[in-house]
Amino acid sequence: MHALNGQSGPDSREPAAAADLLKVGRSLFDASTSPSLLLSGSGHLLECNRAATFLFEKPSTLVVDAMRRLHYQLLGRWTPMAMLLAEYGATGRQEFTLNSPALGQCILKLEPVEEVPQVESHGQNSRLLLAVFMRPPITDPSVLRVTYGFTEAEARVAALLMKGFMPQQAASEAGVRLSTVRTHIQHIYEKTGTRRQGELLAKLLSRPA
């Protein structure tokens, strides 16, 4: 997507290189399995990726009016997305819990993105935001067992790690030896295709919708 190309200093890119970055960004946006939207700061829908199209199908999670203003359901009523964006702008809050007919309870995460001239911003508020829909992290051991094929003991250890326990603390909490917990963690790595605890937690805690 053309709004994902970050920069660490003054923009000294050649126009051709910048254009290539825009193409790469769009490819990543379109290929993402996370339902993602590009919004203006005033709550207008600018773009959505393929993974997000089902959010607009009945029963709808989102609707767009004739002015391309995005709306979500709040207490059974369609509510302008601009309300959430206003709270984001005022408080910096980036995650909001929404109820979706397709997803159940889900998390909408907002991230600011670089403004680019190719995007129509719909109004004076030209700030661009990336909105990504995610499911809440699985912390229930029984759900972890089904999702990843963990044993009961492995699922219990994984749930403790997700709550911030270190291996020694997890061993104490579970009433087992540290070596036992480390064995469980090794099996968890194998079943999740991860190699390090940070990578494991990133996978377990990040649940695209």
Summarised one tens digit per residue, pLDDT across range 92-139 is 999 998 988 877 778 899 999 865 554 555 554 568 999 999 877 777
Confidence of residue 5 (pLDDT cuts 50, 70, 90): very low
The Cα angle at residue 165 between residues 159 and 167, in degrees rounded to 5: 95
Neighbours of 1 (CB within 10 A): 24
Q: Find out if CATH 3.90.950.10 is the number for domain 141-205.
A: no
- Fold assignment, 15-134: Beta-Lactamase (3.30.450)
Q: What is the pTM of this model?
A: 0.59
Q: What residue segments make up the domains of the chain, in order of their start? A: 15-134, 141-205
Q: Which residues partner with 80 through β-bridges?
A: 71
Both tokens of 85, joined, read 């964006």
pLDDT tens digits, one per residue of 172-196: 999 999 999 999 999 999 999 999 9
pLDDT mean over 32-60 = 91
Residues 64-81 have a mean pLDDT of 94
